[in-house]
Structure formats: C-alpha cells, structure tokens
Amino acid sequence: MSPDSHYTYTPIDLNTDAIRLIRLLRGRVDEPVRCELFETFLHQVDGVPYESLSYAWGDAPISKEIELCGKKAAVTENLYLALSCLRQPDEDRILWVDALCIDQRSHREKNHQVKQMRLVYSNAQNVHIWLGPGTDDIDLLMALMSQLDKRATKRKNYRRNSPDAWVKEWSIFVKRDGTGETSIKTCRVNALKDMLSRPWFKRVWILQEVFSARSAVISCGLNTIPTRVFVLMPKLMGLEVDAHTQAVLDIMPGYLRQKSWWKDAPDLCSLLGRFGASKATDPRDNIYALIGIASDANADGILQPDYNMSLHQVIENTILYLKYRQIPSIPGPEPSTKWDLKHLLNQLDQIPSQAFQWAIRQGNQAAAAAVVARPSFHVNAWHTSRGPPLVFLADKPGYESLFSCLLVLPHCNTNVKDCNGDTALNIIALQGHLEMAKLLLNCNDVNVNHKGRGGQTPLGSALMYGHHLIVDMLLARPDIDINLPSGLNGIPFTPLYIACEDNKSTYVNKLLDRGAELETPCNENASTALWVACNQGHQPIAKTLVSRGAKIDAKDSSGRTPLWMAAVANHPYCVRMLLDEKADYGPGASSENRTVLWKAASMGHGNAVKALTMYFQQKGVVHEVLQQERDSENQTSALWIAARNGHTSVAQQLIGFGMDINSSGHYGQTALWIAARHGHAETVLMLLREGADREVLDVYNGLTAREAAEEFWQERVVDVFRTEEGWEKARVVSKLAF
C-alpha cells in the first residue's frame, strides 16, 4: 500500500436503494486492519448477508489508518479498535459501518443514506453494539452474563417475552457462586456501571440503530453477549440507572422492548424530549437521527434530512413540522432562526398545545387551536365538540401558559360554556387545577356563581372535592354568593351543608365569617347546617354552629330535629351536646310524635340511649321522662319497642334506668310477651332473669308469653322457657330440702 494513496469513493446510484458494504478481511489482532468495499442494494441483501456496527464516533481526532481496497483510509481510534476486535482469524466478515460505507464528504450521498438508515439496520442479520475495550472486571462480568444467558435459554420455562428464566437462573448463580457476596457483587456492579457509562449510550444515532435491530449483541473488547441478557442485568444486580440509559436499554432487542414505552410508538416531539440532548458530532443529527424512529415523521416523510441546510433552517423546519405537520410558508409570528437546539428543546412543552390549536382550526379535535397570537384567531369560537379553547384547556394541567395567553387576548370571554353548560371556572374548581384558578380568578369579569351541569357551582365543587386553596380564592371574591346551593346529581346543597357534612370545620368558620346563613335550608329536605352536622356526628362543628346562634330545635321538611337525627344515627356526643343546650327530647322532636329515647331504643342504638338516660339521671328528670316516653299511638314504652326488635342490651339498659319491666302496651302485651312472640330468645332470657312476669296474658290473644312463642313456632324461645322453668323447679326443691 503506497503511503500517499488515499482511498477515493466512487459515487453510488442515488436513485436506487444502493448501499456499500465492507468485507473485513481475516487476520490476527496484531495485524493491520484490511477491508474491501463493494456496492449492493437493500432489496438484494438476502443474497449478501451482512452485520451492522453501532459505535460511538466521539469527538476524538481521526488518528488511525486502515487499508481500504488497497489504499489508505483514516478512521478514529475507537473504530479501529472495534474492527480489530471484530475481525475473525479464519474467515472474512461482511459489515456495514457508516464511517466507511458512506462518503462523508458528499452531502447528497449522506442525505440519501440517512433516509434509509433504518432499513440498513433492520435488514442486518445482527447488530454489533461496540462499547469499547474491556477490563478484567468487565471480561469476568461478560463471561458471567454469557453463561447466564446460555443456561436461561435452555430452561424449560424459557420464553422470549418473559424474564422469568433469567431471574431464576440468576438466583441460582447467586447462591452457588457467591455472586451476592459484598466484594464480588461490588466488582460486578462496578463493571456494569463502567459499561453503562461508555460514550455509546450518550450518542444520538445509536437510538435508530438499536431500535431498528432485529438481533443485537453487546461487544466489549473481544467478548460479546446478546442484548436480551444485558438489558436485564441492572435489575438483576439491583443497580439503578438514569432515565436516559434506561430508555436506551428499553429499545434493545429483548424483553424490555416489548414492555416499555416504545411499544406505544412515540412521536418526534416525545423523542426530542427524551433524547434531543444526546451527543452528536453534527447538532443537526440530534433531529435527523430521530426522524427514522418517530411514528409520525417516519410515516409521513414530510421532514427529511438535508445536510445542505443550516442548523437554524433545520430547527425552524422542525418547529413548523411539530406545530402543523407540514412545512408551509405561513405569515405571522413564526419561530426565529436565532433559535438553537437548546432553545428548541426548552420549548417542546409549548409545541403540543400549539399543534392542538392549529388542528382545531382544521377541524381536528386531537390537537390544539391555531397560534393564539394571530389576529385571525377567534378565541370564543367553538373549535371542538367540547367547546371553545378556554373550556377545552381548563381540564388539562400543564397548559397554564397557553391558558394565560388566551385570557389576555382581546374579546376573550371568560364565561364561555362547553357542551355541558360548564364554564372554565366550573371545570377548574371541580378538577382542582390551582394555577389555572389563580389566572382565571384574577379576571374581574369571570362569573364565580355560574351553575354548570347538575347545578354545580365553583365553590360547591371545590368544597366537595377538597380543593382548599381554590375555596380560599373563591371566598376572597367580593361577588361570591355564599349561600347559593350547588347541585350534586341534581340535588342542591349549600356550601355550609357541604362543609358540615364533610367535617371541614375550618371552612364552616370561614363560611360563617363570610356571611353564610345558619337557618337557610341546606338541601331539598330543608335541613339546616346543625341538622346535617348532628346527622353526621360532627360534634365540634355542631357545637360551633350552636355557639354561632343556630336554632337548636329547627326541623327539616319531615319534622325531625337535630337531636332526633343524632339519636337515629347513634352519635352520643352530639346527643349530649344538644341535651346540654336544652334540645327538645320529647314527642315534639319529630313528626312521629315519639320521644327521642323511644326512637333510639327502637333502633338498638345503645350509645345514644346511654347518653340520654345518663343526662336524665344527672338532671333529675327520670320520673318526668318515664311519664312521657310512651308511643302516643300504641302506648308502647321504649323498653317494649327495644324488646320487640330484639335489642337485648338496650332493653337491659332501660330496665336499669327504671322502666317498669311488666308495663304493657298495645293489647296489653308486655316486653316479655312481644319478645317471645317475635322469637328473640336472648331478650326473653334476659327479661326472665330480670324478673318479668311470665303469666301476663295479652288482651287480643289471651296468651301468656310462653304460649305466644308456642303459637307462633318460636322453638328457641320455648326452649328458654323450659330451661328457666327447670331451674326454677330445681331452686324450689333445693329450698324444700333445707
């Protein structure tokens, strides 16, 4: 090879799918690298099987020379080392290597070859991912991974789409070889960290190369392993990797590719967000390298690599494409050619919203409206089936800047409605989007009291779903209607009702301070705030309401007082608080014309009964209570109804309170009789042992309690009577014996 003879490329046919391949001639590692270059076509590669090389060009100077078709060719040291290690001692190797197979001085050829790069790598039988030279620890780790892969793929449970085989084999390795020991594990982890930190992982072109590969191996020094095992090693070894490196591992051939976010076909915008800051010798490649794997740009072919264009032109075309899915000449404020790549990447979050606006003007509901700064943009028009842009963006967090742009546009109507009758404020208060709420509530003309779907108001929605900061902002508005009911499934509730029901004591006070009316009916049942708080058992709130002047005996539309509801719901603390405030506990507490004690006993609410009886005893009104506690219709006592319903412990409480165990009610039926009639064996047993008269006859049937049980087939109750009678006889005999 003459020292002055440098290889000169012969042009290929750019009107076809022509490519060049190299034949890496056999040789030993210490021999000079020799290659031959020949031309073929992608549609003919089945006849010329080849492999592709994926490596990092890097910024290193071209400092090595190889022999190419008998002449000199300059390459980087990294490529020289890769070719030296990939060379086989006894057989030539057919490879595609971009630095050698593309004439790097010809922009026309580069444009042509870059467009078909994805096909080049997808048609390759195998892709060699060259990470660089090995180390002793890397060599040991590579040997371990190779052995692990061989054993895993031979397992009966091996499945290409499952990592189970490798996981199980790895656990065997750890137990058998001590791979989990601290010193050994540290060496392995450090070796893996070394491999994952190689420059290859930071280069942008490798993404398309690996994404397109059908099969790939990792090459480090003279060792190679399949990517299918390499991608699993960080998790197997408990190594956390950065998001960028993990994303690269995700696209390598293997299990992760099938499960990662790549299966969702990412578009160019999302790829730029993840990989736009990757390393590239030419900054234009940060865009061009992603076009071939972007679901949108690769499919439509609108944005094409062109190395004759400046970086600023490439960036401007990219922005236009991301916004409009075309590269037109559009008058008006467009991206400045002063933008650099960093500026583009920093603005990516804005571009989807701008694309959405453009698509709305075109009638496309999947994207955003036209550029809002344009005078022709009609901010209040319906651009989607949901409604104008303001309400469309209201439930989309992350669009605050675009939302703000809409608000400052001339003629922007802050109260436009969507198809459900909701304004932007209705939607924002419901969803809890704080920053958008701040922007909207700074507009004086926004209607803070608008009722949207189901009659929901912004204040009611924010209160109901716990968006407290939005509640505070709404309460600070001078035009808020503090007593305006808000609908839930078509049923109206005042803000004070919502705060009381949900135990939001802070907001009860704030609403009262702001002017909420205590006695305004809170819902369709005309319940007051105190009624609601007692029904829910929120005693501190109930006490606050009473201290603020709430009427203690205010009734709902069914005639029920707060004390009645507290007893019905078995909330003893509310019961006691209301009694201390002189609440009516008599028949006037509800339209049923029964006492609160009778109602609590009928439902078996022992806690409420206890609170009531203790209060009566402490106040010395037991006699008065016993005189009025009977049901006015049937003259049944609280004890009778408790026994009737089988509430044994409550009945026993009432006996202890002083109620007559043998008093009769309806048809002369005593507590024992009615309990026996309805089969409450436990209650019958308690009453018998408390001394109930078992011989009393009811007026209607003329039966004793036991006879009633027999008449109505209450076998368990009959057994109780038999047992108790047996004990009674035994006691009599015992007394006679003495």
Per-residue pLDDT tens over the stretch 48-97: 899 999 998 766 667 789 999 989 999 999 999 999 999 999 999 999 99
Mean pLDDT of 614-631: 84
436 vs 736: CA distance, rounded Å? 91
Closest CA to 132 of 74, 63, 56, 213: 56
| Residue 365 clears pLDDT 60, i.e. is over it | no
Give dist(CA 217, CA 202) in Å, integer.
Answer: 18
Provide, rounded to the nearest whole percent, the portion of the chain with pLDDT above 90: 37
CB contact set of 303 (below 8 Å; sequence gap of 6+) = 268, 291, 297, 317, 318, 321, 327
pLDDT for the residue 60: 62
Statement: residue 733 has pLDDT above 60: no
Q: How far apart are CA 59 and CA 276, in angstroms?
A: 18
Which pLDDT band holds residue 523 (cuts at 50, 70, 90)? Answer: low
Nearest alpha carbon to residue 483 among 457, 454, 452? 457
Residue 9 DSSP label: P
Q: Record the pTM.
A: 0.52
**Cβ(503)–Cβ(535) below 8 Å:** no
In the prediction, which pLDDT does 385 show?
Answer: 61
Each residue's pLDDT tens digit, 391-436:
877 887 767 777 787 787 778 888 888 888 889 899 899 989 999 9
Give every strand in the sheet of 126-132, ordered side by side.
71-75, 64-68, 34-41, 18-24, 93-96, 51-54, 126-132, 216-220, 223-226
The 3-state DSSP class for residue 595 equals coil
- The radius of gyration of the chain's CA atoms, rounded to the nearest angstrom, is 42
- The letter for the amino acid at 205 is W
**Pair 613, 657: CB distance under 8 Å:** yes
In the structure encoding, which two tokens stand for residue 469, read together?
Answer: 């900061």
Q: Choose between 360 and 187: higher pLDDT.
A: 187
User: What is the chain's mean pLDDT, rounded?
Assistant: 84
**Cβ 427 vs Cβ 435: under 8 Å:** no
The confidence score (pLDDT) of residue 701 equals 84
Cα distances (angstroms) measured from residue 625 to each of 91, 585, 604, 644:
109, 9, 19, 20
Say yes or no to pLDDT of 730 above 70: no
- Count of Cβ atoms closer than 10 Å to residue 88 Cβ: 11
Between residues 241 and 167, which one has the greater pLDDT? 241
| Domains defined along the chain, listed by start | 13-124 (no CATH), 280-346 (no CATH), 351-493 (1.25.40.20)
Q: Which is it for the CA torsion 180, 184, 190, 195, positive or negative?
A: negative
Token pair listed for 348? 């990516």
